[in-house]
């Protein structure tokens, strides 16, 4: 290795497990320690835009490496010439598990049974099967493929939609044709000018009556007012791990909307995060030191 890399980490400190696998000689610096004048890698603390702004204004950074798959929050702060890489792959497993959990919970009416349990009601009902359902994946990156791997054993037909056409993969231009045919739509898109508000009134009106909408991407991809209307009319049911606004205020009508299951942006939070992040970061820094191409370089906003 011909270079040494200094890595500025976030504060409060990430667990040592995250950088235990880094190549020998890599210097780890934390944000609650004196900042260096230059840093090869900066791992910005997710959602702490002001901290990230200060670092990028005061430290000459070569690579900004997020541990989140989404980078919409850091893009406006990026100085010219800095390489941005996202954390795609780190969160595939837990987000895919959240999608499977939520899809089954909605399909089997778990919220309804919880309510009946709380009221002491014995309320049997005939439940639909997941087998044979058609699920549209709106976003077909590494998380989308992980979702597909977990749903296919249930006998689900997957219809993947991505930005660019390729064999077996649809594009957004196909949505008017696809939406009336599917039983569930899983939103896995990043937030970009093109995706903001993509799931709007027209989109929801094209969905099959009673279809399910799951959002594990970014809240503003879904038009909240349009979703509230569709939920209120009973045209769709939804599971949301992300919302717009976020955090969702206590008095927001989404909390009380019929047919909606809400979790507080936890799909990617898992006990295995540090282990997966450590493997990813060790590989990424090793590539940098060896002069090899970096993984997950952000182009065109994601």
Query: Which phi and psi angles does 146 have, rounded to 5°?
Result: -65, -40
Please, what are the domains in the chain? 6-90+271-290 (3.40.50.720), 92-262 (3.40.50.720)
The predicted pLDDT at position 46 comes to 83
| pLDDT tens per residue across span 84-129 | 999 999 999 999 999 999 999 999 999 999 999 999 999 999 999 9
Catalytically annotated residue among 218, 237, 274, 276: 218
Query: Which phi and psi angles does 41 have, rounded to 5°?
Result: -125, 140
| Residue 145 reports pLDDT greater than 90 | yes
| Residue 83 reports pLDDT greater than 60 | yes
Known active-site residue 246: yes
Counting residues of the chain whose pLDDT is more than 90, the rounded percentage is 84
Catalytically annotated residue among 97, 157, 194, 246: 246
CB proximity list for 153: less than 8 A, separation 6 or greater: none
The predicted pLDDT at position 1 comes to 43
| Residue 301 reports pLDDT greater than 70 | no
Query: Which phi and psi angles does 301 have, rounded to 5°?
Result: 95, -15
Known active-site residue 218: yes
The arithmetic mean of pLDDT across residues 34-40, rounded, is 93
Q: How far is the CA of 253 from the CAs of 12, 133, 250, 263, 271, in angstroms?
A: 34, 30, 9, 15, 32
Known active-site residue 274: no
* Among 5, 89, 14, CA closest to 44: 14
| pLDDT tens per residue across span 13-35 | 777 888 889 998 899 998 988 99
The predicted pLDDT at position 3 comes to 64
* Sheet with 83-85, side-by-side order of all strands: 27-30, 6-9, 38-42, 60-65, 83-85
The predicted pLDDT at position 5 comes to 76
The CA distance from 110 to 160, in Å, is 27
pTM of the model: 0.90
The CA distance from 151 to 182, in Å, is 14
The arithmetic mean of pLDDT across residues 256-269, rounded, is 96
Counting residues of the chain whose pLDDT is more than 70, the rounded percentage is 96
């Amino acid at each position: 290795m011909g270079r040494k890399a200094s890595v500025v980490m976030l504060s409060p400190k990430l667990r040592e497990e995250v950088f235990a696998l880094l190549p020998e000689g890599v210097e780890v610096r934390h944000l609650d320690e004196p900042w260096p004048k230059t840093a090869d890698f900066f791992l910005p603390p997710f959602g702490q835009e002001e901290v990230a702004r200060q670092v990028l204004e005061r430290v000459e950074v070569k690579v900004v490496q997020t541990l989140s798959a989404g980078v919409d929050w850091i893009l406006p702060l990026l100085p010219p010439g800095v390489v941005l890489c996202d954390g795609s792959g780190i969160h595939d497993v837990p987000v895919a598990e959240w999608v499977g959990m939520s899809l089954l919970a909605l399909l089997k009416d778990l919220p309804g049974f919880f309510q009946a349990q709380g009221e002491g009601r014995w309320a049997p009902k005939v439940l639909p099967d997941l087998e044979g359902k058609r699920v549209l994946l709106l976003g077909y990156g590494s998380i989308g493929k992980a979702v597909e791997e977990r749903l296919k054993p249930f006998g689900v037909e997957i219809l993947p939609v991505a930005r660019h056409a390729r064999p077996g993969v649809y594009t957004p231009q196909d949505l008017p044709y696809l939406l009336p045919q599917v039983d569930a739509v899983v939103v896995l898109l990043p937030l970009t000018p093109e995706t903001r508000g993509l799931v709007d009134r027209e989109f929801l009106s094209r969905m099959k009556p009673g279809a399910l909408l799951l959002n594990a991407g970014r809240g503003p991809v879904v038009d909240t007012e349009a979703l509230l209307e569709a939920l209120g009319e009973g045209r769709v049911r939804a599971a949301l791990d992300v919302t717009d606004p976020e955090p969702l205020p206590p008095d927001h009508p989404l909390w009380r909307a019929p047919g909606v299951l809400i979790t507080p942006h936890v799909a990617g939070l898992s006990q295995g995060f540090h282990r997966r992040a450590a493997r990813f970061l060790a590989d990424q820094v090793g590539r940098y030191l060896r002069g090899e191409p970096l993984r997950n370089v952000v182009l065109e906003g994601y």
